[in-house]
Structure 1
Amino acid sequence: MCPPPVTRSLDQHRAAVNAALAPIPELSVLVGDAAGATLVEPLVAPAPLPSFDVAAWDGYAVRAADVAEPVVLPVAHEVSFADRGPRRHLPATAARIASGQAVPAGADAVVPLAATDRGAARVGLAGGIVPGSGVLPAGHGAAEGRVLVPAGRRLGGREVALAASIGRARLTVRPVPRVVVVATGSELIDPGTSRAGVPEATAHLIAIAARTAGARASRVGPVPDDPATLRTALEDQLVRADLVIVTGGLSDGESDTVVAVLSELGEVDDVSLAFAPGSRHAFAMVGEDARRVPTIALPGNPAAAALAFEAYVRPALRQMCGFTEVARPAVRARLDRGWSSPAGVTQAVPVRLGLDSGGVVTAAPTCEPGRVSLAALGDADGIAWVEPGVTAVQAGDVLRCTVWDD
């Protein structure tokens, strides 16, 4: 017989989950393998980028003073990317140059090909060239010491390209956490399955939410409520997961076995959470002592699970990724109508955000706040948060709302 659930406020439960979801240990990886990981140390320009003047277009490098009028000049050489630095420019000559190549020292302009006869040994050049024409100065990309990518940022194509451009072969990162979302419930079926049942949606939603938060997430299930089957399914995932999220199986019915199975695998907190919608949650550390895997159990109702994920799972997961920014952007929004809120409970209400004619941010609930549906989530682009001490929300009240844009 499992003991009764412990009662926790949202802040208390969030703190417990945050404490367990520590950032993944840092690792040095090849720059080409760093995509998706989180940068541990800022990427700083070691020198001006580029470190010398470069041609803005294909053409001929010259001294502007030599091309004040139309002129024919000998072509002294062709600039090569193999040159380690700018070559010395000979006065009264031209040097063939491609876009991005180092302008020879002493040259101060690049005549575009369209203003020449494209000669090989000698080249005819249009006049009127001024110093600096066709030249991108050293440091135009970034000054020495500039932070190119701050610590805590997820590395995408642009960030990896910046690292490669300054010659970094390896980067120190926090690897992407591996999250497995397990759907439980004997009544659940995968969409399109021929047998009768309830199409499973919650684990799909949570797996995608975990990916959007920065993790590498996969979905497993549906898994029947049979304790032995559920235990086997969870044990199979422990070897490949940094975090397990279970959806469903948290009520007091005989078929709701998640807490009992988790207690067999490790230490579990069965929690009556002061949160609406969906008050039953659980948190466990399971597996062998050498590798304990945090496991979060969310309600099976997709709307309740999604709002709980936003309330306390997403910030902790982003912390696990190593991000410095873990919270969603928040605004203060004026409500277009009121409702009753349960006493002592943090209530999450999906809302549609907008602006009135005076530029004030407004929020309109997409459903009756006590009856949140999956369709209401689809209509929302924000979440209004009602604090535990508030039991009556009035039209015109201003609440903190987080922007829900994915």
Structure 2
Amino acid sequence: MSTAANRTTGPDHLWTVDEHLEDILATVRPLEPIELQLLDAQGCVLVEDITVPVSLPPFDNSSMDGYAVRVTDVAGASEEYPAVLTVVGDVAAGQAEPLHVGPGEAARIMTGAPLPPGAEAVVPVEWTDGGLGEGPVTGMRARSQAPEAAGGHVHVYRSAEARAHVRAKGSDVKAGDRALDAGTILGPPQIALLAAIGRGTVRVRPRPRVVVMSTGSELVQPDEQLGDGQIYDSNSFALTAAARDAGAIAYRVGAVADDAETLRDTIEDQLVRADLLVTTGGVSVGAYDVVKEALSSVGDEDEEGAGIDFRKLAMQPGKPQGFGTIGPDHIPLLALPGNPVSSYVSFELFARPAIRTLMGLDDVHRPRTRATLTTDKALTSPKGRRQFLRGTYADGEVTPVGGAGSHLVAALAQADALIVVPEDVVSVEPGTEVEVVLLG
């Protein structure tokens, strides 16, 4: 069960936002690490520091198509007085036995090919005649020259400094350097680096599997025909998307009707693929609050210590909440309110940090900042409740969008921030500096 069991609280206790979040984060534990193939590890969090076993690049190589030369052989070269060098052959990327470049010689070299012994620089093919005796190679002709046969000559029309157009061994990272730190989330650039240093697998915490379900007999799936008194199920779509945005593998379950036995069976069926369960709706004091009915006594039948605690929070929106663990593996379950804004705000404040904790991250919260409130009139807030209003943030200013109603989905779609009004504040005047939770 959650650590709420250790608190002296009754059904009428009004929890603070911080108490509820603390209870969640004290209960949720990071997932056990596993070894995954690189592409399977995308979005996962490293649990080990990665040290570079081989320098990148592993050898000096050319950054251009051109000719590998000795600096003294092209010193003072110009279009009027070109350096004429004997071409000893080609050096291609991946070539195992590079040619040797001696005095008065050059080797045609491809981008990425190892700098041959004796060569000190690379002159781009555009600085030469391409071995055709026709002046500097430019445009399409620069890209279409046939490989120079050994024994021919190339005219070089510009001098080159030592190491010109040469990528030095270890100029990216050196053997023994730390490539990635434990705690890094693996995105495409990090996976590229792992592959480049020869790592085919990596030890990570897997992405959490989150199951999201809505409750309510009035809910209809998009593209279906609405009947009298029915609405479309938006919560399960919003929260599944939010779980994926947080880094989880999310599964959406179709809306469950207001029947406690059906809901309980559905939840039990989902336990096999869940590291976290999130439900919306059915957690307040109505006659059909099936989540409370289905789960309030679940601890009596499951493993010792499991159970869901339903509580009231000193916040708006999102006063009714539920949290605990369920099943023999003690899978965490967050029961969120059913109003769209309430469920989304609750997810951002409580479910997202839980997901990030499962991932093994240190910083699990959305970033916060201070911003100047820009509005035509003062904002009001109920005393004793921490209010979270939707807003748009830019350049140190935040502007409210929509009202305080927990059903205003259209306004929520315009918001990229939450304006935080503390419990002891009942009015916020325009121009006041406020705390802002950044959602984007």
Q: What TM-score do you get using the length of structure 1 for normalisation?
A: 0.90
The yes-or-no answer on 1:220 pairing with 2:253 is yes
After TM superposition, give the deviation of residue 199 of structure 1 in Å: 0.8
**2:389 matched to which residue of 1?**
349
| Superimposed CA distance per residue, residues 172-223 of structure 1 (whole angstroms, 9 cap, x where no aligned partner) | 1111101010111111111222251211111111111111011111211210
The yes-or-no answer on 1:248 pairing with 2:277 is no
Cα pair 2:89 2:149 within 8 Å, conserved: no
77 and 199 in structure 1: CA distance in 2 versus 1, 3 angstrom threshold: same
**1:79 matched to which residue of 2?**
91
The yes-or-no answer on 1:283 pairing with 2:290 is no
- Range with greater deviation from structure 2 (161-170 or 317-326): 317-326
| Aligned residue among 328, 342, 354 for 1:304 | 342
Cα pair 2:57 2:167 within 8 Å, conserved: no
> Which blocks of at least 5 consecutive residues in structure 2 are unaligned?
1-9, 132-146, 300-306
After TM superposition, give the deviation of residue 307 of structure 1 in Å: 0.9
| Aligned residue among 71, 82, 85 for 1:64 | 71
Alignment of 1:308-323 (within 5 A): 308-323=346-361
Counterpart-to-counterpart distance in 2, 1:63 and 1:284? 73
**1:124 matched to which residue of 2?**
154
**1:50 matched to which residue of 2?**
57
Counterpart-to-counterpart distance in 2, 1:167 and 1:326? 31
The yes-or-no answer on 1:106 pairing with 2:118 is yes
Alignment of 1:170-249 (within 5 A): 170-194=201-225, 196=227, 197-249=230-282
Counterpart-to-counterpart distance in 1, 2:250 and 2:308? 23
**Larger radius of gyration, structure 1 or 2?**
2
**1:368 matched to which residue of 2?**
403
The letter for the 2-side match of 1:119 is E
Counterpart-to-counterpart distance in 1, 2:249 and 2:438? 23
The letter for the 2-side match of 1:224 is A
Counterpart-to-counterpart distance in 1, 2:273 and 2:313? 29
After TM superposition, give the deviation of residue 113 of structure 1 in Å: 2.7
| Superimposed CA distance per residue, residues 10-33 of structure 1 (whole angstroms, 9 cap, x where no aligned partner) | 111101111222211111112232
**1:26 matched to which residue of 2?**
33
384 and 372 in structure 1: CA distance in 2 versus 1, 3 angstrom threshold: farther
Q: What TM-score do you get using the length of structure 2 for normalisation?
A: 0.84
**2:427 matched to which residue of 1?**
392
Cα pair 1:79 1:98 within 8 Å, conserved: yes
Equivalent residue pairs, number: 396
Match of 1:210, SS state, is helix
After TM superposition, give the deviation of residue 108 of structure 1 in Å: 1.2
**1:358 matched to which residue of 2?**
none
269 and 27 in structure 1: CA distance in 2 versus 1, 3 angstrom threshold: same
| Aligned residue among 354, 365, 384 for 1:327 | 365
Cα pair 1:334 1:363 within 8 Å, conserved: yes
| Aligned residue among 11, 20, 45 for 1:13 | 20
> Which blocks of at least 5 consecutive residues in structure 1 are unaligned?
356-360
**1:402 matched to which residue of 2?**
437
Counterpart-to-counterpart distance in 1, 2:29 and 2:343? 22
Cα pair 2:108 2:148 within 8 Å, conserved: no
Cα pair 1:63 1:108 within 8 Å, conserved: yes
- Range with greater deviation from structure 2 (333-342 or 45-54): 45-54
- Range with greater deviation from structure 2 (362-371 or 179-188): 362-371
After TM superposition, give the deviation of residue 119 of structure 1 in Å: 2.4
Match of 2:240, SS state, is helix
Counterpart-to-counterpart distance in 2, 1:219 and 1:34? 22
Counterpart-to-counterpart distance in 1, 2:117 and 2:231? 74
The yes-or-no answer on 1:339 pairing with 2:372 is no
- Range with greater deviation from structure 2 (149-158 or 97-106): 149-158
After TM superposition, give the deviation of residue 87 of structure 1 in Å: 6.4
